[in-house]
């Protein structure tokens, strides 16, 4: 019988322990090189039968996981502080990474999303040629900034919408920020912070920090500015300012990281060669209860995944 557990050791590193009859897979995140072993459960049973260890010989426990960590990962703490059994191993919710372990995020949608982000970054980089990234220039505004702000915010809307629709959210003729704000808790967006890699001192960007379910449009200044200049350019052109554009692009960076994983722009951990002008400096903590775990097959570290829909098992606020 397949049993899968997600655990966290004393060092705060996340891991997966899978038992399928006598076959055991153990995976431990260890930057920059992860630890993976395929071994046998009877090694644990032998320790108990010989009297070297006291424990449950039939079911995985923190002590059993600790034993295998000690055996195969000598340079990390073998003390397991938190462990939970995964009810549906191998399943994940689309575009909700949640710090998932050993998750392959690369697909056609990912490549399209990255292409859109690359184009927006190119526009912003061109803007840097004529407008120095400095707080004194945050209030600068103009038509090119307006174009960038509108393009970026429509991409933000698209990514938020895809989180909902790909997870079985009720279909509507028109979606609004009252729908999009549901993603706030799903992705813990208010806990993400980023900085410009080449200009880290100008500002720490937390684009969703004050997002309010009661005021989902007006609580995001950069998004409120986007609406203003989209519907009434003449009277609101000063809202198309440099800071709002930077906040919007930072929001897009955060959304991509939250949907596909914090590692997508990390040269050591990423699966492609994507780059961002931003780097995350604060990310959410996901408990072992919130993480997904794949199914390992055979003796290779090949993770099997299947998608599920979040709103199929969770009440949707959109039903009202």
Using H for helix, E for strand and C for coil, what is the string for 74-89? Answer: CCCCCCEEEEEECCCC
Burial (CB < 10 A; 0-12, 13-18, 19+), residue 291, is buried
In this prediction, residue 298 carries a pLDDT of 76
Domain assignments of the chain as residue spans, ordered by start: 2-97+288-319, 108-282
Tokens encoding 306: 């299947």
Cβ proximity of 29 and 266 under 8 Å: no
Our separate counts of H helices and E strands in the chain read 10, 11
Which pLDDT value is given to residue 131? 96
Residue 165 has pLDDT above 80, yes or no: yes
Residues 127 and 116: their CA atoms lie apart, in Å, by: 17
pLDDT over threshold 60, residue 319: no
Token code pair at residue 294 = 């794949």
Other Cβ atoms less than 10 A from the Cβ of 58: the count is: 12
Mean pLDDT of 17-31: 91
**Cβ 120 vs Cβ 149: under 8 Å:** no
The per-residue pLDDT for range 67-109, each reduced to its tens digit, is 999 998 888 899 999 999 999 999 999 999 998 877 777 789 9
pLDDT computed for residue 320 by the predictor: 42
% of the chain beyond a pLDDT of 90: 82
Do 147 and 307 meet the contact criterion of CB atoms below 8 Å apart? no
Task: Tell me the pLDDT tens digit for each residue of 210-229.
Answer: 999 999 999 999 999 999 99
Note the pLDDT of residue 122.
Answer: 96
Check pLDDT > 70 for residue 318.
no
pLDDT at 269: 55
Question: Tens digit of pLDDT for each residue in 241-285?
Answer: 999 999 999 999 999 999 999 888 885 555 667 899 999 999 999
Distance CA 188, CA 270 (A): 22
Determine the pLDDT at residue 60. 95
Task: Name the pTM for this structure.
Answer: 0.92
Phi (first) and psi of residue 250, to 5 degrees: -65, -40
Instruction: Supply 111's token pair.
Output: 């490549």
pLDDT digits (tens, 9 = 90+) for 100-158: 877 777 789 999 999 999 999 999 999 999 999 999 999 999 999 999 999 999 999 99
Mean pLDDT of the chain: 92
What is the C-alpha separation between 283 and 301, in angstroms, rounded? 27
Percent of the chain at pLDDT > 70 equals 96
């Amino acid at each position: 019988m397949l049993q899968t557990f997600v655990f966290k050791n004393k060092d705060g590193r996340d891991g997966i322990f899978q038992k399928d009859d006598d076959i055991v897979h153990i995976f431990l995140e260890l930057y920059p090189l992860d630890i993976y072993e395929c071994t046998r459960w009877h090694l644990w049973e032998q320790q108990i039968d010989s009297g070297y260890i006291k424990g449950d010989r039939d079911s995985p426990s923190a002590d059993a996981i600790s034993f295998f960590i000690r055996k195969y990962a000598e340079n990390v703490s073998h003390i397991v502080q938190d462990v939970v059994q995964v009810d549906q191993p191998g399943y994940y919710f689309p575009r909700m990474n949640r710090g998932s372990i050993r998750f392959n995020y690369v697909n056609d949608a990912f490549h399209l999303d990255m292409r859109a982000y690359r184009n927006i970054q190119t526009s912003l980089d061109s803007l840097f040629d004529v407008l120095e990234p400095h707080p004194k220039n945050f209030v600068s505004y103009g038509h090119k900034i307006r174009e960038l702000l509108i393009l970026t915010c429509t991409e933000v809307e698209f990514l938020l919408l895809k989180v909902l629709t790909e997870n079985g959210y009720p279909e509507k003729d028109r979606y609004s920020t009252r729908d999009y704000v549901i993603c706030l808790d799903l992705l813990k967006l208010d806990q993400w912070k980023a900085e410009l890699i080449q200009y880290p001192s100008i500002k720490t960007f937390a684009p969703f920090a004050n997002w309010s379910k009661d005021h989902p449009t007006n609580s995001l200044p950069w998004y409120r500015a986007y609406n203003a200049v989209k519907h009434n350019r003449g009277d609101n052109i000063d809202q198309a300012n440099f800071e709002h554009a930077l906040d919007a692009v930072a929001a897009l960076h955060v959304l991509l990281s939250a949907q596909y994983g914090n590692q997508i722009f990390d040269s050591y951990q990423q699966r492609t060669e994507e780059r961002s002008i931003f780097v995350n400096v604060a990310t959410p903590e996901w408990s072992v209860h919130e993480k997904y775990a794949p199914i390992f097959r055979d003796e290779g570290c090949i993770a099997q995944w299947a998608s599920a829909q979040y709103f199929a098992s969770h009440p949707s606020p959109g039903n009202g």
